[in-house]
Amino acid sequence: MSNVPASATPARRGLWRWSVALLATVLMVVVGSGLVAFAQSGAGASRGPVFLPADTSVYVEGRLDMPDGQADAMAEFMSAFPGFADMGSFQMIFEQALDGLMSEATYGEYSYTEDLMALMTGEVGVGILDLAGAAMMESQPPPVLAGVAVSDPAAASEFISGLAQSETGAELVEEPYGATSILSDAENAIAVAGDWVLMAPTVDLVQTGIDVLSGEAPSLADDADFSKAWARVPAAHILAAYMDFASLGPLMDLASQAAAGETGMTIDLEGLSEQLPTDMVAYLTAEADRMTLEAFITPSEQMPAMAMGESDLAARFPADTQLYVETRELGATLATTIGGLLATMDEQTAADMAPLEDMFGVPLPELLDFVSDASVGASLSSDGLWLGIAAEVTDEELANDRVERILSIVRLLGAGLGGEDAPEISVDETVIGDTDVTTITLPIEEVTGGQLPVTIPDTLSVAISDGTLLIGLGDFVENALTQAEADSLAASPEYVDALGEDTSNLGLVYANIGSFLGMIDPLLATMAPEWADIAPYATALDRIIAVGTVDEEVISARMSVIVAP
């Protein structure tokens, strides 16, 4: 063990400052500029967490080399935004930012492009070795170990030695560990082990990484459960992550103890922890017109089954719908949720619910048990805001009975509240085609004083047609009953493209943000002067979709951000 010589300077600099800067530089590259530095070197599958022990809780990997065409895809995706019209401008902007970051961290002594870029292969990983420990050790360094793969270990060692020599005023210690030399100060430790630069808050964490790389301890990369989960991550990715949900067990115990200390109540979370998934992997990938984040969750044996399905509810909504949400088995979900809430109430509170149940003629958890899949959609146009709900019903006769009970309560409220000066609520019956439609006129303008920034229809219509319950403001119900499917959201090219092959799913959220921003752009320009600077970037975004699926082995959740053509 030896102290690294240093000359006097009034400003103290330590390993932590520039090692954090190194990782920050890596993250910046991963987010947007990796294709600049490593576009020619992407070789496909990564080596993975070969430096992390097998019981690591969380692993995050960045591929700066942008493998399998990710460089070109990212460049084309970014070209939708101002300032990134071509590869040259993309490179210039990010290289300047990275050089500035590295220069600040080393007081102008080192440059990212001249001194660091050539040493890196493009693969970087960070692991949280003990997630529970990281949460509980408030005053201790977190058990985090980072690894940066290098193409020339000797040059990397020389670079780190140069940094150490330049860290004047810092108390740096160099100590051997086997054939490896570890450099440390009070805040951080670093070593070049094989073709990896290892960094951690403490020397013992770096030693752990060295042991794993030397084969003296098993690695996460060789763990069977990890390998099975990680096989779902394609080689073409920018970021990827893995989490072992078993590591959440101690955290749930801690939460239970904390709740007991705060409330005096004992909360048993053992049953909930048994229903947690086994593990999860996620990855971020680029395509020419979109970025996609997809997660794969391995369910445990005790995890409740999830309802998959395919519905034609989107055919009830117009093609220009800006927000659309679809869910499965809504009635059963609400029954479970409301039933659970009622079970937590004291006897008096539960008794106060009895009059409501008498009016509805059914216990509250069962009020909507006739509903299976359901969806809601909305849009803002020059005519104002519209909102609609469509839900499949399992028993149309029962649905009619429940809806009629609710409408009867509305009629009573409209007739008996507030006296002569009260806003009027009227209920009218019409027929559209062969479907009975009930329309409730609401005193929107009287209640709001006409001060809303957008127009909201003053009618709410309800109908049940062909096994579907329809509820909506304004003309939604009429349009849903009369429009051709070819004019619906289900047939919209933008929606079909975003949904892809996931037509059978757990549920979805779709947003046409380009259309929405186009409508509110004048309003934002008037209300927020800074919108003029933000708008070119925001309006480059076109659509967002989030959709989930499940099979016998894995739950998948995908979110894609799509840019305007």
Per-10-residue mean pLDDT, the chain, length 565: 42 46 47 36 70 95 87 86 71 71 69 77 90 63 89 86 60 87 85 93 94 96 95 93 84 58 48 76 95 94 86 96 96 85 72 78 86 95 90 93 84 59 75 92 67 78 94 94 95 97 96 91 81 86 96 92 92
Q: What is the DSSP letter of 365?
A: G
Q: Nearest-CA neighbor of 403 among 373, 427, 379? A: 427
**Cα gap 71→66, rounded to integer Å:** 5
* Tokens read off for 457: 């229809």
Q: Please give the pLDDT value at position 232.
A: 94
Per the listing, tokens 């009867």 go with 408
Per the CB < 8 A criterion, the answer to whether 18 and 200 are in contact is: no
Which among 191, 163, 185 is positioned nearest to 173, based on CA atoms? 185
211 CB-near residues (< 8 Å, 6+ apart): 217
Q: What is the pLDDT of residue 16?
A: 46
pLDDT reported for residue 542 = 95
DSSP annotation of 235: S
End-to-end CA distance of the chain: 60
For 80, other C-beta atoms within 10 Å of its C-beta total: 19
At 264 the pLDDT is 45
CB 390 within 8 A of CB 325: no
Nearest to 564 by CA among 535, 533, 527: 535
pLDDT for the residue 103: 72
pLDDT at 34: 33
Q: Specify the pLDDT at position 125.
A: 94
For residue 520, what are its two tokens?
A: 């509110």
Cα-only R_g, the chain: 30
Whose CA is closest to 114, among 103, 125, 130, 129?
103
* pLDDT value at residue 423: 57
Residue 354, burial from CB neighbour count under 10 angstroms (0-12, 13-18, 19+) = exposed
Q: How far apart are CA 48 and CA 27, in angstroms?
A: 17
Residue by residue, DSSP assigns 415-473 as HHSS-TTSPP-EEEEEEETTEEEEEEE--HHHHHTT--SS---SEEEEEEETTEEEEEE
d(CA 144, CA 160): 20
